[in-house]
Amino acid sequence: MKTFLITRPNTESKATANKLEMMGHRAVFAPMLNIDPISFEIPDETRSLIITSKNGARFGLANIGEKSRPIFAVGEQTAAVVRDMGFTNITVGPGTARKLVPLLLECGITQKRDYAHLCGNDVAYNICSVLKEEGIDATQVVTYQTTPNRSFSPAIEEAMDMGEIDAVLFYSPRTATIFEEAISETGHHDWLSKLDAYCLSPRVSDELIGPWRSVQYAILPTEKALFGLFKE
């Protein structure tokens, strides 16, 4: 059994913890991002909606009543959240925003679609800018904001000091960076030498620069592939 520290926001961490516990592991929590909804104007009904995260679905679609509205979702996990909210006209694309672009361009040109990207205040890849460069009308609609949490609870600091945490899970480049910044704030860089880092993708692992015991990444950007790195 290993003890994993989950850095995901609270909206995602409990589901991850349940899966770890089913595998016989223990989970503790240190969310590196706080997520809060903000007010926004619902995009015109003529626009197809782009959803690139579960939070984009939860916060962006909550007040949209037309459940047959066309939605382009990144990956099956994001699409599953959209379906659970009652939407029926869903096109599921590849698992990253960048890889979704060719599908959006094809539909935008052949079907003369305009788009609205429902997203957070911090986007790693600006889909709308790329689409606009190709002559497609696309607008970014910020539906929630994320703020970094560069600190640990006393319980987590004590657990790391005592060597009771074995590994840390990272799902995004931003949380990886914030985690190491939080470590710097504590002044305990030596903690990293006791920890293994498991990252959702090479892009996430590239953000880690500290003296970790080991850094591994999933070949495919899925939780199943991530968990496969340490599956007994």
Single residue among 94, 113, 146 that ends a domain in this structure: 146
Q: Is residue 16 pLDDT above 90, yes or no?
A: yes
Same-domain check for residues 69 and 166: no
Q: Is residue 12 pLDDT above 90, yes or no?
A: no
For the stretch 193-212, pLDDT in tens is: 999 999 999 999 999 999 99
Single residue among 146, 174, 203 that ends a domain in this structure: 146
Same-domain check for residues 184 and 202: yes
Same-domain check for residues 112 and 158: no
- Say which DSSP state 206 is in: T
pLDDT, average across residues 52-80: 93
Q: Is residue 232 pLDDT above 60, yes or no?
A: no
Q: What is the pLDDT of residue 77?
A: 87
Cβ–Cβ under 8 Å, residues 192 and 167: no
How many C-beta neighbours within 10 Å does residue 53 have?
Answer: 23
Residue 232 lies in a domain: no
Same-domain check for residues 49 and 81: yes
User: Which residues lie across from 101 on neighbouring strands?
Assistant: none
Same-domain check for residues 131 and 166: no
Q: What is the pLDDT of residue 95?
A: 79
Same-domain check for residues 91 and 194: no
Residue 199 lies in a domain: yes
Q: What is the pLDDT of residue 110?
A: 87
Containing structural domain, residue 17: 3-32+149-227
| CATH number, position 216 | 3.40.50.10090
Single residue among 146, 163, 185 that ends a domain in this structure: 146
pTM for the predicted model, two decimal places: 0.80
Q: Is residue 231 pLDDT above 80, yes or no?
A: no
For the stretch 81-132, pLDDT in tens is: 999 999 999 999 987 889 999 999 999 888 999 999 999 998 888 999 999 9
- The number of folded domains in the chain is 2
Cβ–Cβ under 8 Å, residues 71 and 87: yes
Same-domain check for residues 58 and 153: no
Same-domain check for residues 178 and 193: yes
Same-domain check for residues 67 and 99: yes
**Which of these, 22, 111, 54, lies nearest to 103 by C-alpha position?**
111
Q: Is residue 151 pLDDT above 60, yes or no?
A: yes
Residue 175 lies in a domain: yes
Q: Is residue 140 pLDDT above 90, yes or no?
A: yes
Ordered alpha helix ranges (H), 47-195? 54-60, 75-84, 97-110, 127-133, 154-161, 173-186
